[in-house]
Homo-oligomer: A and B are copies of this chain.
């Protein structure tokens, strides 16, 4: 057997010394990026590794476990920030924008985030970093914890939203705009009147505004507390 040769049959190949969780997750991520979440089936991942679906169960606990491991690997690639009280707001925006960009690059992967509590290594590191920046910003621990939760929810939700709209986003925005302006002014006067505002901004900008709004809201809470409970 030529060790560099590619083999098309599942029989007749060298020992699987090179296989392992990393290889399985890697193959699955490649399929995810090129074909989307629905294409990530045990059978297809196995085929990409020149083996059968049953062999995958040695390295992952099943499809659910595989998705979990994929998310962890994706999140692990997000560069963190060293919390700096003098620029915590900017750090928050950078970190969350990177997180969102990474998620968007992996269509569908975030469905897993919401489904499971943040328990894997990489997700914990990200949350720890978020918490650090928020506390450096002077937030009360409870507010900081809640803000973490909200930010993760927003990042995940905008990501799911983004990748459901696979087609040209601008074209789709235009389509929705047309539909909104065409709505009966008797029944939907506000949506019709403000259609332009309803479809304004791309995913990045909408996410940025959402993060900004949450930061402002948290600062308002902090200010209120300092007035009433000094």
Contact = CB atoms under 8 A, between A and B. Distances in A.
14 contacts: A114-B164, A117-B172, A117-B176, A119-B176, A131-B194, A141-B197, A142-B200, A145-B200, A148-B198, A153-B158, A154-B154, A157-B157, A212-B217, A213-B214
Interface residues of A, number: 58
Contacts of A132: 190
A165 interface: yes
Number of identical monomers bound together in the oligomeric complex: 2
Contact of A213 (B142, B150, B176, B190): B150
B150 A210 contact: yes
Contacts of A209: 146
A119 B128 CA distance: 38
Contacts of A200: 142, 145-146
Interface in A90-137: 111, 114-117, 119, 124-125, 127-128, 131-132, 135
The A contact surface, by secondary structure, is: helix
A221 interface: yes
Contacts of A188: 124-125, 128
Interface of A: 111, 114-117, 119, 124-125, 127-128, 131-132, 135, 141-142, 144-150, 153-154, 156-158, 160-161, 164-165, 172, 176, 179, 183, 187-191, 194, 197-198, 200-201, 206, 209-210, 212-221
A148 B200 CA distance: 12
Contacts of A189: 128
B154 A150 contact: yes
Nearest to A150: B210
Q: Which 6 A-B pairs have the closest CB atoms?
A: A217-B217, A213-B217, A145-B197, A216-B217, A216-B220, A115-B164
